[in-house]
Amino acid sequence: MQYSSTIDSLIKRYMDAGEIAGASLLLIKDGEEKYAKVYGEADKENHIPMQRDTIFHLYSMSKPITATAVMILFERGELDVWDSVSKYLPCFKNRTVWTEAGEVPAERDITVWDCLNMTSGIPYPCDHLESGRRMGEVFSELIRRRVAGEWVDTMEWVDQLEKVPLVFQPGEKWMYGFSADVLGAVVEVVSGKKFGRFLQDEIFV
C-alpha cells in the first residue's frame, strides 16, 4: 500500500508516547481489502497482543454516522456546512451564552460546521457549569417523560435546548455536547425524513 510506511510511523509515534497500547487497522475500498495490520497489545497489563479479531469497546459511534448523513446532503447541494443552524431550526436563532456576568447574546449564530466540530457551545449535562446544570434539568425531564411512556421526537427535543445558554461563543472553543443531536434534527428538516429512516435509506442499505 502506498501510504503504509506513513501509517506505521504515525501509529508507532502514538504507541511510543504512551497514548495507545496498540491498534488494529483495516482499509477496504470498493469492497476489496487493501490493507490490514495490527500493532502492539490489546491488553497492556497482561501483555496480550493485538489480533485482527480483537473486540474493541467503542463509544459515540453514532456521531460519525450523523456527520456522514450531513455530508451526503452537503454533496447533493441540499445544505451548506456554513449555514446557520437556525436556517433549519428557528429555535436556534438569538441564542445566549452564559458568562460570569450572566447571560449575554451570542455574537453569531451556530453553524452546521460548529456542530460537526463540537464548537457550538452546546454542552452535555454536568454539575460544574451553569449551562451544564440547566442542560441536566432539561435532560432529566426528557428521561422522565420517556420512562412514563411519552414519545418525544427529535424536533421537540432540540426545541428544549433553547432553554439552555451556550457555554461559550460559537466557534470559540471545543467541547463535547449535544451538537450531533442537533445535526440529526437538521437532517430531518432538509431530507423531509425521520433521522432513522434517512440513515436506513442512505447508509445502512
pTM (two decimals): 0.78
Say how far apart CA 90 and CA 104 lie, in whole Å.
Answer: 19
Say how far apart CA 94 and CA 71 lie, in whole Å.
Answer: 26
Q: Estimate the crossing angle of helix 195-202 against helix 179-191, to 10 degrees.
A: 80
Grid cell locating 135: 442542560
Q: What is the pLDDT of residues 114-123, one digit of tens each?
A: 999 999 999 9
Q: In 3-state terms, what secondary structure has residue 30?
A: coil
Q: What is the pLDDT of residues 89-105, one digit of tens each?
A: 999 999 999 999 999 99
Q: What is the pLDDT of residues 174-197, one digit of tens each?
A: 999 999 999 999 999 999 999 999
User: What one-letter code names the amino acid at 147?
Assistant: V
Distance of CA 104 to the CA centre of its chain: 26
Q: In 3-state terms, what secondary structure has residue 157?
A: helix
Pairwise pLDDT comparison (4 vs 183), residue with the higher score = 183
pLDDT at 66: 97
